[in-house]
Amino acid sequence: MKEKNNTSRAEKLFAKTEGENLKEVQGLGFFPVSSLGLIRSGFGKGICEAATTNKNIVALTADLRDSLKLGEFAKEFPERYFEAGICEQNMLSAAAGMTLNNKVPFVTSYAVFNPGRNWDQLRVSVCYSNCNVKIIGGHAGLGTGPDGATHQALEDMAITRVLPNLTVIVPCDEEEARQATLAAAAYKGPVYLRLSREKSLHILTKKDTFQIGKIQVLERGKDITIIACGLALQFALKASLELRKKGISAEVLNCSTIKPFDEKTVLKSLAKTRCVVSVEEHQIAGGLGSVLAETLSQKLPLPLERVGVNDSFGESGEGYELLEKYGISTANIVKAAKKVLKRAGKKASK
């Protein structure tokens, strides 16, 4: 998306803010509270919006109504709300059964359980039968924070993107989560929506249009491509500003649909920049970095560096503390960018 004036999206996002009531986001800076939002609140708004026009939309949860922001839906549409109890396996297969009665079920829990614990049910009850079920995995990634490694899904993209018929979406902020929920509701077929727990900057606005399977170019650049998804996208945008200071022009892509993967936009960007860094709040094995490695090795073999969790579990701590500790940080992206520029035979200035 081209900005009308010459200020880029990243510049606007990280423009110095002064005044009181600023909240620090570790690794990103100080921001007015109003410029931050919950990704899962976008889901809560989106499902209510979709349900108003489509009476077949129903929601299920496994004892996590408020955490998944379903409180309003449950109040507005009590007859279409199902509390399944702590039974994620039954919940998902039951949702698949509801599609025989033309329902469009949204099945919610934490990503470690849904699609973690109920992956077999996702594979057979939902995907094999191509049932029109939407799987909402909350508290995905390190942003889950103090609950620790048991509750931080770092493998969910890997286990979902290998399933036939399934679409995998990772929204970067509240607005994208809202739009992705509406898009998932309108789409006929199973969709997995991955939601982080932490607050994120409002990157997108209502003027941006989310489309399943389409990558949005947020920053135009010519030296290097940085491709990111979800909570990690903020760091990619910040890194593009840091790189600019060093005279490197970075193109930043928001890859919110992991499957189907928008090869066309990526290959177009790479044809220009000839090197790429992937950034994700997930294992680098099996996630966005892997999708990219698979695509490039077959279609356009070019140097790639992957930023993400490298074959380890998380731990307790604040979400943004953990992101920094496990390497999903501006500094680490800049480091990876320099490395990949070098590998591509380009000069990293300064």
Partner 1 sequence: MAILKEKELKEKTKEIRRSIISMLAKAGSGHSAGALGQVELYTILYKEVLKHNPKKPLDPNRDFCIVSNGHTCPVLYATLADNGYFPKKELLTLRKLGSRLQGHPHKGLLPGVEHSGGPLGQGISFAVGLAASLRRDKKTNKVYCFVGDGELEEGQCWEALLFAAKEKLSNFILIVDRNYIQIDGSTTQVLHLDPLDKKCEAFGFHTISLDGNNPQDIRKAYKSALQEKKRPTVLIARTIPGKGVSFMENKVEWHGKAPTKEEAEKALEELE
How far, in Å, are 141, 170, 183 from residue 46 at the CA level?
22, 15, 9
In which element (H, E) is residue 130 found? none
Q: State yes or no: residue 63 binds partner 1 (CB under 8 A).
A: no
Binding region for partner 1 (CB under 8 A) out of 2-10, 80-88, 138-146, 294-302: 80-88
Q: State yes or no: residue 276 binds partner 1 (CB under 8 A).
A: no
Can you state the angle between helices 233-245 and 330-343, rounded to 10 degrees? 60
Q: State yes or no: residue 188 binds partner 1 (CB under 8 A).
A: no
Q: State yes or no: residue 58 binds partner 1 (CB under 8 A).
A: yes
Alpha helix positions (H), the chain:
9-13, 39-53, 71-76, 88-98, 119-121, 156-161, 174-186, 233-245, 263-273, 288-299, 319-325, 330-343
Q: State yes or no: residue 97 binds partner 1 (CB under 8 A).
A: yes
Q: State yes or no: residue 163 binds partner 1 (CB under 8 A).
A: no
Considering the complex, what minimum distance in angstroms separates the CB of residue 75 from partner 1? 16
Structure tokens at 340: 């990949």
Strand pairing partners for 105? 58
Q: Which is nearer to partner 1, 82 or 187 (CB)?
A: 82
Q: Which is nearer to partner 1, 115 or 308 (CB)?
A: 115
| Three-class DSSP category at 318 | coil
Q: State yes or no: residue 5 binds partner 1 (CB under 8 A).
A: no
Total site size for partner 1, rule CB under 8 A: 29
Q: State yes or no: residue 135 binds partner 1 (CB under 8 A).
A: no
Q: Which residues contact 14 (CB under 8 A, 6 or more apart)?
A: 28, 29, 237, 238, 241
Q: State yes or no: residue 162 binds partner 1 (CB under 8 A).
A: no
Can you state the angle between helices 263-273 and 288-299, rounded to 10 degrees? 70
Binding region for partner 1 (CB under 8 A) out of 11-19, 46-54, 76-84, 236-244: 76-84
Binding region for partner 1 (CB under 8 A) out of 29-37, 46-54, 89-97, 295-303: 89-97
Applying CB under 8 A, among 22, 74, 82, 158 the residue interacting with partner 1 is: 82
What is the rounded CA–CA span in Å between residue 28 and residue 231?
12
Put the strands of the sheet holding 250-254 in their side by side order.
216-219, 250-254, 224-228, 276-283, 304-309
Binding region for partner 1 (CB under 8 A) out of 92-100, 137-145, 324-332, 341-349: 92-100
Applying CB under 8 A, among 101, 164, 188, 298 the residue interacting with partner 1 is: 101
- Provide DSSP, 71-113: HHHHHH-GGGEEE--S-HHHHHHHHHHHGGGT-EEEEEEETTT
Binding region for partner 1 (CB under 8 A) out of 120-128, 175-183, 259-267, 280-288: 120-128
Residue numbers of the site for partner 1 (CB under 8 A)? 58, 79-80, 82, 84-85, 87, 89-98, 100-103, 105, 120-121, 124-125, 128-130
